[in-house]
Chain A
Amino acid sequence: MALSYYHVTVSGAGSKTGADWANAYGLAEYYSHTIAAGDVFYFKSGTYTLTADLGTTTDGTLTDPIAVIGVKSGTTATGNAVDYDDFATGDDRPYFNGGASYDVNFDNYAILRNIRAESEQDNVIRADQHSIIENCYALNDYSADSASKVAIYGGGSGNRIINCEVESYNTGIDMASGLIAFCYVKQLGTRTTATAVILDLRTLVFGCIVDGYAKGVFTTGRSIHILQCVFAEILNNPAISGSGTTTGGWSVINTIIYSCGQGLYWGSNNNNIYQNNNTFYDNTFDFNNVPKEGDTEDLFCDFNLSSADPKFRAASSEDFRIFNGSPSMDTGKTLELGIG
């Protein structure tokens, strides 16, 4: 393993070699750097106005990823002395403004952490297979209709989009396969066909909140597992939907679908979705073409379905925490000795 560390501030410092904070790269010096596997860039807080894509077509490797990591404004540690205590959060994360023309765009084996980015480009933050996008914020502010305008794009297999906040007038996250965990995805504007999360196949969506989108999770692929998520106010189209004959092997477990137009919605009959311990509350329609109790084929329905108000703290102001007294507290399916 051979990691090389570079330090970047908005305007740079000293000799601008990137070797430490006293000689930090400015954005111009970062652009002049030929990126190689193992390069780790620490970006300090501030607004970086992009004049080209922030990224590379060079791949990292399993041992030597290419990393962009936002650190706190007061960070003094350098190189491998930088640790979690230095990681930037909230508005202290470096902010990459791509405007109409540029974005954050990496290929395979990239690790992008603790950054914010805004752009009108197709993919505000993009990484290809085997990459990690964590603790990031991405805003696609292209306000006209275009499904190709995506806030975070994970191409290829094995991407992990974790602990990220996503806002977009169009598509929120477009993912080939991998993991989306603990993400908050919110639509801007009133476009009635925008989709929060588009998946190809083989993806685990875990602990995410999709809020105020026209359409929630959509795929034409198989092997999608949605666990412990919240879909709120998905008004125009289904919260969770699949289309086509290849959408087998789904699981929807411990998930809350709240004040949506349509809940779990399939284009054709599907008794193959494993459903358990979900909550459907205040939706216009809960199910379409998937079994519910009372149907002729309800043998494959969610027999532990709840229709009680989960009592979020303040859904209207985006606080979806449940608290003591919520009927959804500690009511997910649990492993019981002697049952399984």
Chain B
Amino acid sequence: MALSYHYVTSTGAGSKNGGSWANAFDFAAFMSDFATCTAGDIYFFKPGTYTLTADIASVYDGTLSDPIAIIGVKSGTTAQGNNINSDDWATGSDRPFFNGGASYHINVGDDYILKNIRSESEQSGVITIERHGIIDNCYAKCDDAGGTSRYAILTENVGCRIINTEVESPNNRGVALSAGCLIHLCYVHNVFDYGVLMAVSSFATFTICDDVGTGFYGGAVSDAIQVINCVCYDCTNGIYSVAGISWSIIGNIFHTCVTGINWTAASNNNFMWRNLMYNNTTDWNNVPASGDTEDIFCDWLVLTSDPDFVDAPNGDFTLDTGSPALNASMKMVLGVG
């Protein structure tokens, strides 16, 4: 392994060669260096607004052992190189902000790791990664005013992980997952169309879709998708699939949606268990519900009580202490399995 560390601030410092905080790149110097970055290059960014005049992009990929990384660190960070650790990581509005405007975005290749950054753009794929990428503790907003098909986060190849990330896209779409990708512990809200586009064999866990057109969307080929312990609140559709095959929908909450789980054609092939349906206009469409003729394949343990979020209208989906959804998802039971 051969990681090389570089340092970036909004105005740069010293000789601006990126070799230390005392000689940090400014953004223009970073852009020049990044265009030819190689596997193992790590860029630490201090807080500030970085206005893009071109895509943040490189023709080079990282590798499994030597990823290429962009990592936001706190404004007061003095540590360098491998002395930087999670105590230095930026959070909230202290994360560096990349403003792509109408024309530019972050668009990187295979084996990139993007942590602790914010980005906004009118481009599709405000943050775009390729194979094996990681986006962690980031914020992405697509603020294109027209159309519906632009994404805030776009994964263009397999094995990406979107974790602990906030996504907005008021006129477009939230996250597009490729095969084998995981979205975990994310907050997707204020999204006009799809919150999360699920590809074949993609996974969603502990993710909240709030005020979204369709929380989790599966297109014409949307097989083998697992959605576990997520929340769909105030969505037109919590989950919508174009006749998708082999989904598992376990331990989720569908609250104040027009339709909770909506399939375009009848399916008895989904595994649904311990979901909570509350205050939806319609809970199920084209998937079996108790009382249907083919209800042998329904969710027999569906919950229907108010999950008692602390303050859902203001984005706090914490379950209150008396919530019937606490510890109510599927779990291993001795002597049953």
Contact = CB atoms under 8 A, between A and B. Distances in A.
B64 A40 contact: no
Interface of A (DSSP majority class)? loop
Interface of A: 1, 3, 40, 62-65, 67, 69, 80, 82-84, 87, 89-90, 109, 111, 129-130, 132, 134-137, 157-160, 162-165, 177-179, 181-184, 201-202, 204, 206-207, 209, 222-223, 225, 227, 245, 247-251, 253, 268-272, 274, 276, 293, 295-300, 303-304, 319, 333-335, 337-340
A1 B316 contact: no
Interface of B: 1, 3, 42, 64-67, 69, 71, 82, 84-86, 91-92, 111, 113, 131-132, 134, 136-139, 158-161, 163-166, 179-182, 184-187, 200-201, 203, 205-206, 208, 223-224, 226, 228, 243, 245-246, 248, 250, 265-269, 271, 273, 290, 293-297, 300-301, 315-316, 330-337
A89 B332 contact: no
A182 B332 CA distance: 5
Contacts of B226: 160, 178-179, 204, 206
A227 B203 CA distance: 11
Nearest to B165: A340
A300 B64 CA distance: 11
Nearest to B86: A303
Contacts of A69: 296
A269 B64 CA distance: 7
B300 A83 contact: yes
Contacts of B332: 163, 182-184, 207, 209
Given A80-B296, A227-B184, A222 B132 contact: yes
Interface of B (DSSP majority class)? loop
A339 B228 contact: no
A272 B132 contact: yes
B337 A274 contact: no
Contact of B208 (A165, A207, A335): A335
B92 A339 contact: yes
B269 A109 contact: yes
Given A209-B332, A245-B64, A272-B67, A251 B182 contact: yes
B295 A158 contact: no
A300 B224 CA distance: 29
